[in-house]
Structure 1
Amino acid sequence: MDTRQMRYFVALAETLHFGRAAECMNMTQPPFSRQIANLERDLGVRLVERNSRQVSLTPAGQRFLKDSRAVLAQFEAACRDARLVAEGQKGEVQLGFMMHAAHRIVPRIVSGYTALRPDVRVSLSETTPAEIEAKLLNRELDAGITFSGRTLPQLESVPVVTDRLCLVTPLSHPLAELEMVGPRDLRDADLIATPSGISETLRRAVSDYFAADGIVPRFRFEPQLQNTILRLVAAGLGVALVPESICDGQLSDIVARPLRNAPRLEVVLKVRRESDNPAVVPLVELIRRESFSGAPE
């Protein structure tokens, strides 16, 4: 039995006439009648009562009609969904992002994408820059918002925004009184920074900023997450150089100050060059087409 036989039966049940049903299915009556007879033989039940004047459904036929309509509707939906997934109109995108992007960039990207692809589910995963690349390569993510960093042949990077480093200090810290801060102002400060193994790009930007003035920074704490860094700063345990994009309205007991010749950080969308998920294509096109300049240029 296949869906064609179900369609033949539904046509007969809706017309209760072999000739008209055969015409609806673009067939002549004899082969159509054979298909109905074959269906009854395969099922081992009589679905219709026939005589010279009329056709009627048996109780088994009435039930089979109801179930056939349900099966055909599900089959048509499955075919439609398969086409939509292949076109990137339906499905799921696994999007990873570093915490820095959560405040300004991710909400705008997700909002723009869901407006374009309302039937694609966006599964969000907040993680570290180091994990984003690994998860992309392992196919645990379809796309990731992270720092540009190193170039891998398997991954493509699409520019999103340019962020800058700024200084965050406790309210009572002497550096909070300065309008702008340079490396020499920070030479005796206790610094809190992300370790290189979590975000090599960010840690290198911080270290290079001091090295340009011949200063060796004094790192006191090295937590993995930027939110933890902000809270340690708020607790008076040191100061930190963090992306400007996470400084707006985070904590009421810290102060953000601009850095002289502040290092710039390129934030990108990374995807596999040979992605097998069609729903990723409109995401990449959105990033290329729109401006997500949530961070100052």
Structure 2
Amino acid sequence: MLTLDQIRAFVAVAEELHFGRAAARLRMTQPPLSRHIQKLERVVGVTLLERDNRRVILTDAGRGFLEDARRMLSLVDTAGDRARRIASGAAGTVRLGFTAVSAISMLGTLLKRLSEELPEIDVLLHERVTAGQVDGLLRGELDLGLARPPFDIATLDSRVVFREALCAVVPEGHPLAGLGRPLAPDDFDGLPVISYNPVQSRYFHELTVRFLTNAHPRIEQQVHQILTAVLLVAAGRGVALVPASARSLGVRHVAYCDLVRGGGDPLDQGGGVANEPVELHVIWDRGSTNPALARVLELLPDLESPS
């Protein structure tokens, strides 16, 4: 079997072309150095060095082997450093889940920050709805998610990284788009509303229900994703409530309207524009042993945006 001692011995002799100088460089005597070379040539099965009392010459095979030997020693020298960097979290891999709308509001900012400050961490991206991200974390398929609450706090930790307002999306030319003011719950009375699946998209389902509590809309569809809701609105199937970042999805033939609470709801502070908080969280398994995850989380606290 090849050994590192044999490879180091060969490289030293090949570079010095002199057994005495190579032995001095390796701080050993010539006899064990010669034995290393002999054993190496037996293992490889070819002559790597031509030597006599006057000179040492590399054979063609020896020159080829020298290139590979240098690469092997370089890999050995860097392997320990890489292992230490992975153990410290400065290098490694983080598998990140995200939704389409979270990609608009946060993903680009996060990836840019990571590439600048932790360039040796590879980020593998997985687009999944929140429920799929939670499942991926619990199964060990993901390390981190950009998702919406609620979460199982018994196994998952979370942190708010972005807040934005809730708004309405209506078909282009819809009467609500022409009112020229923020929309109140009563404005949706009797209108077809595209809502969200109460299980797969529980967060936006609850936001919609909470805002329209005192209105009497017609729930026409229940979807899983924000993008689907906006596309159905563009097709004229109803109106929907979405996070403000949905404006950046680029869907045509829709208009976006601010929302306002009616009556003295403390959220609108006496009739102003409703600041219905739509939160985006990072979530992770609190039992994770991935050192890179801890380093990524260190970058997140100052990413939170004010409402």
TM-score, reference length from structure 1:
0.88
- What is the SS of the residue equivalent to 1:175? helix
Residue 248 of structure 1: how far off its partner (Å):
4.3
Contact 1:158 1:284 in 2 (8 A): no
Comparing 250-259 with 20-29, which one deviates more in the overlay? Answer: 250-259
Task: Output aligned runs, 1:148-187, within 5 Å.
Answer: 148-178=149-179, 179-187=181-189
Task: Output aligned runs, 1:128-207, within 5 Å.
Answer: 128-178=129-179, 179-207=181-209
| AA in 2 matched with 1:221 | Q
Residue 59 of structure 1: how far off its partner (Å):
4.1
| AA in 1 matched with 2:32 | P
Q: Distance in 2 between matches of 1:185 and 1:20?
A: 91
- What is the SS of the residue equivalent to 1:255? strand
Distance change >3 Å, CA 24–CA 199, structure 1 → 2 = same
- What is the SS of the residue equivalent to 2:299? helix
Distance change >3 Å, CA 76–CA 216, structure 1 → 2 = farther
Residue 180 of structure 1: how far off its partner (Å):
1.8
Q: Distance in 1 between matches of 2:158 and 2:32?
A: 59
State the superposition RMSD in angstroms.
2.3
Q: Distance in 1 between matches of 2:223 and 2:64?
A: 65
Task: Find out whether 1:97 has 2:110 as its counterpart.
Answer: no
- What is the SS of the residue equivalent to 1:151? coil
Q: Distance in 2 between matches of 1:255 and 1:174?
A: 11
Structure 1 match to 2:243: 243
Contact 1:167 1:242 in 2 (8 A): yes
Contact 2:146 2:281 in 1 (8 A): yes
Residue 186 of structure 1: how far off its partner (Å):
1.4
Contact 1:160 1:267 in 2 (8 A): yes
Deviation digits for residues 147-193 of structure 1, max 9, x if unmatched?
13133322211210122211111233222233122222212111102
Structure 1 match to 2:298: 285
Task: Output aligned runs, 1:16-27, within 5 Å.
Answer: 16-27=17-28
Name the count of aligned residue pairs: 292
Q: Distance in 2 between matches of 1:10 and 1:136?
A: 48
Q: Distance in 1 between matches of 2:226 and 2:74?
A: 50
From 210, 213, 216, the counterpart of 2:212? 210
Residue 252 of structure 1: how far off its partner (Å):
4.4
Residue 249 of structure 1: how far off its partner (Å):
6.7
Distance change >3 Å, CA 187–CA 137, structure 1 → 2 = same
Return 5+ residue gaps in structure 2 as ranges.
Answer: 262-273
Contact 1:207 1:217 in 2 (8 A): no
Q: Distance in 2 between matches of 1:11 and 1:53?
A: 18
Contact 1:192 1:239 in 2 (8 A): yes
Contact 1:132 1:144 in 2 (8 A): yes
Q: Distance in 2 between matches of 1:170 and 1:260?
A: 19
Comparing 245-254 with 225-234, which one deviates more in the overlay? Answer: 245-254
Contact 1:147 1:268 in 2 (8 A): yes
Contact 2:90 2:295 in 1 (8 A): no
Residue 79 of structure 1: how far off its partner (Å):
4.1
Residue 217 of structure 1: how far off its partner (Å):
4.4
Paired-residue identity, %: 36
Distance change >3 Å, CA 249–CA 225, structure 1 → 2 = closer
Q: Distance in 2 between matches of 1:196 and 1:128?
A: 13
Q: Distance in 1 between matches of 2:254 and 2:39?
A: 80
Contact 2:90 2:121 in 1 (8 A): yes
Structure 1 match to 2:85: 84
Return 5+ residue gaps in structure 1 as ranges.
Answer: none
